[in-house]
Amino acid sequence: MFNFPGTLYAITPDQADTQRLVGQVRAALEAGVRLVQYRDKISTMADKLTRGRTLNQLCQAFDAQLIINDDVVLTIAIGAAGVHLGGDDGSIRDARRLLPANSIIGASCYNNLNLARTALADGASYVAFGACFDSPTKPAALRVNLDQLQSFRDALGSHVAICGIGGITHRNLSEICGLVDAVALISELFGSPEAPHTPEQIKHRIQQLLAEPALL
């Protein structure tokens, strides 16, 4: 059974500046985040290898875990803790077969309980539902409402690790935290490519989030 190492799950933004990206992730780790997903839709594979190895070493230095978005091959190449797969990113069963036995495998299940059940049966460690709110990263994402999240929790049971993603901020965090085990955050932590948050802003935002009664 998988348990999230803390409630905050940081997902990296598309950031062309490697030094800035590493500084942002370091700030999140210094503030207490222990699960990071490397999501990169803009870099070449060579750059992803370099960035991934750097981020993996950084996470290990903080006793944190790095998850790779969408790419089992990259996960294996850098020795990351696991992979997160969307609906079109390959087979969870194949990923479980290819990765080391203790690897973390996450599955995007959008607003579909049947997808979650299938993912778990195929070997997923956790399932992610969302977008929970309007998402600046994926404005066209399928939405899951709070009543659905409650029904999914009831159907899957308390032993299943559930992550909420999409549009989650410190303003709406209290609405969702009783329904999921972790919240995945991108722009809330790191800002946008046009207006990236500084390390100081990232640390401040994490402190704000961790001060929420729902996370205590």
Element of type H or E holding 44? none
Q: What is the pLDDT of residue 193?
A: 81
DSSP E strands in the chain: the ranges are 8-11, 35-38, 65-69, 82-85, 104-110, 126-129, 161-165, 182-185
Min mean pLDDT across 118-132, 148-162, 185-199 is at 185-199
| 44-68 residue pLDDT tens | 999 999 999 999 999 999 999 999 9
Q: What is the pLDDT of residue 215?
A: 55
Q: What is the pLDDT of residue 142?
A: 84
Q: What SS3 class is residue 216?
A: coil
Q: What is the pLDDT of residue 178?
A: 85
Q: What is the pLDDT of residue 141?
A: 77
Min mean pLDDT across 12-16, 66-70, 74-78 is at 12-16
Residue 96 · residue 105 · CB < 8 Å: yes
Interhelix angle 146-156/113-122, rounded to 10 degrees, is: 40
Q: Which two tokens stand for residue 186?
A: 């991108």
Confidence band of 9 (pLDDT split at 50, 70, 90): very high
Mean pLDDT of 23-29: 98
Global pTM reads: 0.95
Mean pLDDT, the chain, whole residue set: 93
Decide if pLDDT at 216 tops 70: no
Q: For residue 61, how far is the Cα from the chain centroid?
A: 19
Decide if pLDDT at 213 tops 70: no
> Could you tell me which residues come within 8 angstroms of residue 154 by beta carbon, excluding any fewer than 6 positions away?
none
